[in-house]
Copies of this chain bind each other. A is one copy, B any other.
Amino acid sequence: MFKIDQRSSIPIYQQLIQEIKQAILKGILQPGDKLPSVRELSVQLTINPNTIQKSYQELEKQKIIETLRGKGTFVTTHYKPGEDKEKLDRLKENLRNTLVETYYLGLNKDEIMQLVQQLLEELKIGEGKS
């Protein structure tokens, strides 16, 4: 269900967070859907339950999922963005750095814009939803 690269330098718990967020964006996980239990995912992905836990807790803090005690973890039905200027600044910085690297790799402006477009489509990010 979720792809995790054990060799990646990106922490596993962050990879999982990303995978879940993307699954929600793409509609694979719908609001209200139950997520696999910590133990279940732990077995499926052969990852320690604590690591899964960490991902779930972080997503819960971001109000993207919520847990009903004893019942499991679910995708929240009404996610609302919530202003966070600092986070936006961090993202802009990150984006700036990524663009610089992309350029140094030989892509020109048009190719970069195309890449961004393509990724947005892949993620099913359109104007309609936000």
Contact = CB atoms under 8 A, between A and B. Distances in A.
Main secondary structure of the interface of A (DSSP, over half): helix
A116 B87 CA distance: 16
A8 to B, nearest CB: 8
Contacts of A104: 21, 62, 64, 79, 81
Q: Chain A, interface size: which category?
A: 35 or more
Nearest to A48: B70
A7 B68 contact: yes
Interface of A: 6-7, 9, 11-12, 18, 21-22, 25, 62, 64, 66, 68-69, 79, 81-84, 87-88, 91-92, 94-110, 112-113, 115-117, 119-120, 122-123, 125-127, 129-130
